A and B are shown apart, each in its own frame.
Chain A
Amino acid sequence: DGGITQSPKYLFRKEGQNVTLSCEQNLNHDAMYWYRQDPGQGLRLIYYSQIVNDFQKGDIAEGYSVSREKKESFPLTVTSAQKNPTAFYLCASSIGQHSNQPQHFGDGTRLSIL
């Protein structure tokens, strides 16, 4: 089945630690996105990538980093600079920036502070 796989489902971070959330898609989509959701809120864009080896900051990029070395993979690192990392993180993909096409979402990763 084609889709987006996020792992792990649950992740715990110690103070001062970097953690990396995985996002893999087999939809052959060019564009990928990372969103953050806080309790009772909508989703906010962290980073997005429209093509391999290129990515741009979204609305809340501080304390996060990404890479896009492969078309199917877009990992998100939550660094120690992110002082309030506890949230639900969702990854999405779409065919490409130049097409008006829907975004498809993974099942998310819940990150908590120990």
Chain B
Amino acid sequence: GIQVEQSPPDLILQEGANSTLRCNFSDSVNNLQWFHQNPWGQLINLFYIPSGTKQNGRLSATTVATERYSLLYISSSQTTDSGVYFCASGTYKYIFGTGTRLKVLA
């Protein structure tokens, strides 16, 4: 089955800094989502992005399906961005990466 690798595993930023999170996939991408898991465990859907680029406020994402990777950009980070970011892909059953744990310092 598909393998999903996320990098970096951990990231500490000063408030206001920018960052890029990456997902690599071992097989072709059908569905692809980015999620933010907050400290209460809620999984918040950030982007559904099997290909192309999308932006939502300070967040944007790009998926290059032919090269089997996706990037999540966070600009002007805020303390509320802290948490774990997951990417997931699959046709009808998702495989999740192990996540990037982000801590934004005030």
Chain A bound to chain B: yes
Q: Footprint of B on A, CB under 8 Å?
A: 31, 33, 35, 37, 41-45, 48, 50, 58, 88, 90, 94, 97, 100-105, 107-108, 110
Chain A residues with CB under 8 Å of B50's CB are 100
- Closest CB of chain A to B92's CB: distance in Å? 4
Q: A58 to chain B: which residues have CB within 8 Å?
A: 93
Indicate if the CB atoms of B93 and A108 lie closer than 8 Å. Answer: no
Question: In whole angstroms, what is the CA distance A2 to B94 when docked?
Answer: 22
Identify 17 new A-B residue pairs, CB closer than 8 A, beyond the known A42-B4, A44-B96, A103-B33: A33-B94, A41-B98, A41-B99, A43-B43, A43-B88, A43-B94, A43-B96, A45-B93, A48-B92, A50-B92, A58-B93, A94-B92, A100-B50, A102-B33, A102-B45, A103-B31, A110-B41
User: Is B86 at the interface (CB under 8 A from chain A)?
Assistant: yes
Per the CB 8 Å criterion, the residue count for chain B at the interface is 23
Query: Is B48 close to A, CB under 8 A?
Result: yes
On chain B, the residues within 8 Å of A50 by CB distance are: 92
